[in-house]
Structure 1
């Protein structure tokens, strides 16, 4: 019996020892004892590894045994060390030999070529598709780390208070933001992705851009075009693209032998001084003709980057099997300068524990591209210490501790009490345009006061008026909330008082479900799609005597509901009852008298020359009970699931929406009797190679019963009158009058726009510095009883500013032409 017990004890001891993991760590330096940051470190013939930090320190856990550990970084020779892990942590420092590339047989093999680098890259490009598709699917573990630093700042703009708030040293340097992410990543060809975030941590203020999931750093140079999210609205031509020789020259720098493989170092040289091209070096495995590593650069001078001045992309590939290579380390390093503030940083991704062609369950790829675990953001420090593959530098550790302490303090009653009053102080310039927000300590109750520009107004129907509106929001819990928006409106000209309430209840954020209820009275636009805001209508009326918007009175009540029935299928429906009355102009004031200009009637169908005080008939007072419903289909809908709900991403396919509206006669005294149906198909940001992106919308519909309906029941369009316009919606017109083409019959409208994203003006010296985006577009409309309408335009935009010049036609006659501008205010 004792012998059996001893045997069992021995087996348990051996098992425990073998299951125990120990830390292998060390410092990686070069021949001059300089630290080699971000060196890839992995176990040879495996997919397990890590990356050194900025100071060359590395660490990762291993079970007892003997390992061949490979150290790799661009600019140094690959080094493999035989290391044995026993029953304790192991420290192993290494010194990487400098990179040595020599011309050898390769120069003789292709001596008839202008440069052997061209022949090498032709071989790589001919193998591009095979390497792109060599793994049908895979899964791996991902670690992403990001750091943004302020490298220097002008003393004149950096006070002691600012340096203290940002934790900067006396030279204005410090860490502004750092983040970490641990996740599992799954991929299936051609483009199916599913990722689960296990842990996430961040500290500081993100001042540039960020990557919050593993797919953000999946920079695959075997694709023809590389898109760098956040830095450019255009893509970049890969040096391995099928048409790469149109854009690049290549020069062989030399060859070396790394672990028995011949590696060719190729210099990538853009053929043009400016454009969407990389420069730098790419390393090729000779014979396999595949990418070994990359060291490529984008610059603001050549590539018109946004936010940053330089971006360097470094990748290291390793063999997962004899025929499949995958990136084990990816790093994006950036730097820039704004108003004398110099900043820099990096995002690095470590991909390991690859499984090639795993068997995923049926329905695994269901459109959910990212799921964030409910406990991802609350992992304690001991969790990160045990699972973080890249050691923190002392500065990063200090920054985390300080900012974690500050974050904890900001949750205390003492801090919340001290800032409550200050936080809710009103900023009057901000209130003018953006409104005013206030909340209580817990932020479960908040109040928003709509901007001043939407509060005081003038029009010829009401005269000067007040439209006061606030929104109160209460959060019940993470998944339920409601808002109530009361509004009062009074016109001093016609002495008309209105009051109404709009309320919403969000009850299921995982299905985009909400209820809404409306009731009260209001003065509404006869065009129910929308014309000009109160602010712009006030300006055009008082300054130019252009009273574009026509109004009527409505006393109403209604309710509705919406819900995503299945992924990508959103249904909504509602019932509304309204009593509607015609209104007339009562006020004719103006700031300046415009020569040969008079106000027009509030009846949009009144003929030209009708006096402004016209009381002609448009519709009788009527009651309308209306049912509305619609269903939208977003094909191949992808989404992110957070603990607080589901968030849909833009689909790469068009969205189809079917609408139905019915006027219900006789119920509750309703006078209307009609049936209307329409369908539209639309898509935004369709990427067209290197030439930017397109957007379109097509809409058609008809009244298949129009026994009784009134002007506000017609189908209306998002037209435009006046110099300003709103380009943020693809279904709008530049010159179409607001009311002329409104119809109670069949119609069809089409809109198309292409943004060249700088691909034309970027070739013009000096102009390229402005980073302007060129826009062209066309709109078309055909309706019953009106000549066909069409318009064409060209424009340029930068951020929120845009200027267009266009021309329009009604039938065969030119209608209007001129400039339209947008500066961020609608």
Structure 2
């Protein structure tokens, strides 16, 4: 028995030794002992490797054995070290020698002339081959990001910046750093799936963030390179099919590595302010593939937030004829309002599998799933797992912010923070609204701000509409919300009260039940005209009482649920008693002799007259929304849907049911909408469009609020949503028969104004558009407009035509509020 136990112990120790890994680490420098940051290190004949950090230090884990380790960085001679890993960690510092790229006589398929241009012509000819060479693959992807502040003002709005941003005494420090580790899968042409298995974040992201592998998937074989969050337009790749129109190329020299000739090509923009790169790209001769790159986008190319973005990339052989990116990094720097910042995002690809044999149905609408335990990995896990070593500053910042996080997650701190946030202040009372939360119970009580509580219109006079909202969230993610509201008009002395209830029982599939009942004063247009606040201001300041109201005492219930990925079903049944209202107040702040209030009947604005009789209405609605090729990210808190890449289609049906509960409506309306908010037009920017068409199958009995209404506009401020008109009156064209409306808009993303000196620094985007409406027995209506925008600010100028007659023109503005 004792012999068996000894044998068992020996076996266990042998198994442990076989699975033991040891750390290979060191520092990579040049001949002057200066660090070579982000150099690639990987094991020969494998796709397992790592990168050095910005100070040249590297480390990764290996089992005992003999390895040929390749050290590579573009611009330096590749170095191969034979290293034996025994039963202990191994330290290996490496000095790399700058590569001598010598000029030579180049003869490429007997074509003479500019050698750099001819080399790049061969690369461009093989662009599509390399773009589609790998049909599918999987890899392990590690991403590291750091944002640093290198200079900041001492005070901002009277507050100490160093304390707010947790900087050192010199105003410097790390604002944000993050790490993530994912299993990434890809299949041509654009199917992706990613599982994030570990994530670590410290600090506040103040600019932009790339935490998904797809965010860092740089492929210059695509014609355009898009930088999410930093630019609305794409940048022309140096190997794009039309690259010769945008670049000049210069051969700086060539070197030989592993029997292959590597050409160093300078990439030179033909025009300074084109959306292009500048820098160096390395090409493998005869194969005509990209070996590596060191390319820049500068503010001359109209990039936002940062002044320069450097994109460095190194490829590694996965098979003899197939090379894939091994490491990529974005280095950036910028200056915003005296805050100078810099940083990087680095990605390392490991363990490529070019024959993953994905099962049927593997790729679906879910493009990424974040494991529920991803952000719960401890420091020991990251010390053993991260392939990119932390710098001393990064490690210190992690320790500091981990300590702060521990404090901030403690019950006393959370109680104190909740107590502070629950305090009532003049600002939240008047502007943002007041919220009282209880995190333990998952409850929140919200009181709408005062400016939304008081209003004026010509029907009710001055009025009050106090409204509150109570929400309850459960641990499984489901929640419900109850919103009661009161409404009283001092002129018509009419009191109304209603309650809305919504239960989100299946958030991942948008499953919701909703119930509402009570009485309210409603807009005659079900698509809305102007908010209560804007209508109050326009009525009192300029005697423009745009919105027309009626009273409804109602009850309704509905259901919404995603029937399948990309198919959302919504249905509602309502019953209402509806009454016409009339103007009861002519109050105003300024007397304008050229204007007077219009009646509450949009069809007879100069006199009060009956629009519809007192009646009951039983109405049924249903719609199906199709989002083709829908994609989403599954987070522990729920789904986040990606911007659709294909048009969306909505089918609508609305029926007025007669004869039940004394309902006096009888009609059937069918309609369809097809729309796309962003259609890429390459370098020319992007377009948006919406086309809607519908008809009443029968209109035996319908009233004005049952018409099909359009998103019109009267006044200077407009709604920039695609599908809205700039100049169409709110009610005049409401349809009770067949209709077609079409909207088109194109954003040039600065391509035109960027060519004007003095204007390009404003980074404005140019917009043109047109709107169209046709109805039975009415003239066709057209709008044409052009405008400029910057972030949430926008100015449009346009013209409107009714048939062949111009009816209006003018400026429309948008500043973030509708």
Pair in the same fold by TM > 0.5: yes
Choose the corresponding residue for 1:555, options 525, 533, 553: 553
Deviations 1:680-700 (A, max 9, x none): 111111110011111111111
Segment of structure 1 superposing worse, 640-649 or 490-499? 640-649
1:817 matched to 2:809: yes
1:417 matched to 2:415: yes
- 1:51-130 matches, within 5 Å, as 51-106=51-106, 113-130=112-129
- 1:558-637 matches, within 5 Å, as 558-606=556-604, 610-611=606-607, 614=608, 616-637=609-630
Aligned counterparts of 1:160 and 1:89: Cα–Cα separation in 2:
49
State the partner residue of 2:340: 342
1:512 matched to 2:505: no
Choose the corresponding residue for 1:472, options 464, 470, 474: 470
Quote how far apart the aligned CAs of 1:336 are.
0.7
State the partner residue of 2:750: 758
- 1:346-361 matches, within 5 Å, as 346-361=344-359
Q: Is the 8 A contact 1:467 1:489 kept in 2?
A: yes
Q: Is the 8 A contact 2:108 2:119 kept in 1?
A: no
Aligned counterparts of 2:362 and 2:457: Cα–Cα separation in 1:
57
Quickly say closer, same or farther: Cα 1:325–1:443, change in 2 above 3 A: farther
Q: Is the 8 A contact 1:134 1:323 kept in 2?
A: no
Quickly say closer, same or farther: Cα 1:202–1:5, change in 2 above 3 A: closer
Q: Is the 8 A contact 1:417 1:441 kept in 2?
A: no
Quickly say closer, same or farther: Cα 1:158–1:747, change in 2 above 3 A: closer
Quote how far apart the aligned CAs of 1:575 are.
0.8
1:668 matched to 2:661: yes
Q: Is the 8 A contact 2:154 2:162 kept in 1?
A: no
Quote how far apart the aligned CAs of 1:373 are.
1.0
Deviations 1:240-290 (A, max 9, x none): 001100000000110112233211110000000102100000001111110
State the partner residue of 1:330: 328
State the partner residue of 1:707: 700
Aligned counterparts of 1:466 and 1:340: Cα–Cα separation in 2:
45
1:802 matched to 2:794: yes
Q: Is the 8 A contact 2:198 2:374 kept in 1?
A: yes
Aligned counterparts of 1:54 and 1:524: Cα–Cα separation in 2:
61
Deviations 1:760-784 (A, max 9, x none): 1011111011111111111111112
Q: Is the 8 A contact 2:153 2:161 kept in 1?
A: no
Quickly say closer, same or farther: Cα 1:753–1:101, change in 2 above 3 A: same
Quote how far apart the aligned CAs of 1:721 are.
0.5
Segment of structure 1 superposing worse, 382-391 or 271-280? 382-391
Quote how far apart the aligned CAs of 1:433 are.
4.5
Aligned counterparts of 1:637 and 1:156: Cα–Cα separation in 2:
46
Choose the corresponding residue for 1:749, options 734, 741, 755: 741
Quote how far apart the aligned CAs of 1:670 are.
1.3
Q: Give SS of 1:510's match.
A: helix
Q: Is the 8 A contact 1:512 1:646 kept in 2?
A: no
Q: Is the 8 A contact 2:181 2:198 kept in 1?
A: yes
Choose the corresponding residue for 1:690, options 665, 683, 707: 683
State the partner residue of 2:635: 642
State the partner residue of 1:440: 438
Quote how far apart the aligned CAs of 1:544 are.
1.4
1:789 matched to 2:781: yes
Deviations 1:730-777 (A, max 9, x none): 111001111111121111111111111111101111101111111111
Q: Is the 8 A contact 1:50 1:58 kept in 2?
A: yes
* TM-score normalised according to structure 2 size: 0.97
Question: Which stretches in structure 1 are left out of the alignment for 5+ residues?
Answer: none
Aligned counterparts of 2:800 and 2:383: Cα–Cα separation in 1:
65
State the partner residue of 1:773: 765
Deviations 1:487-530 (A, max 9, x none): 11111111111111111111111211111111111111001110
State the partner residue of 2:284: 285
- CA RMSD in angstroms comes to 2.0
Deviations 1:563-604 (A, max 9, x none): 001000000111111111000000001111213211111011
State the partner residue of 1:48: 48
Quickly say closer, same or farther: Cα 1:240–1:443, change in 2 above 3 A: farther
Quote how far apart the aligned CAs of 1:66 are.
1.4
Deviations 1:59-115 (A, max 9, x none): 111112211111112332221111111111111110111232111343x66997442
Segment of structure 1 superposing worse, 690-699 or 645-654? 645-654
Deviations 1:195-220 (A, max 9, x none): 00101110100001001210100010
Quickly say closer, same or farther: Cα 1:812–1:210, change in 2 above 3 A: same
Aligned counterparts of 1:194 and 1:151: Cα–Cα separation in 2:
37
Question: Which stretches in structure 2 are left out of the alignment for 5+ residues?
Answer: none
State the partner residue of 1:225: 224
Q: Give SS of 1:402's match.
A: helix
Quote how far apart the aligned CAs of 1:395 are.
1.7
Q: Give SS of 1:37's match.
A: coil
- 1:203-602 matches, within 5 Å, as 203-300=202-299, 302-426=300-424, 428-429=426-427, 432-442=430-440, 444-602=442-600
* TM-score normalised according to structure 1 size: 0.96
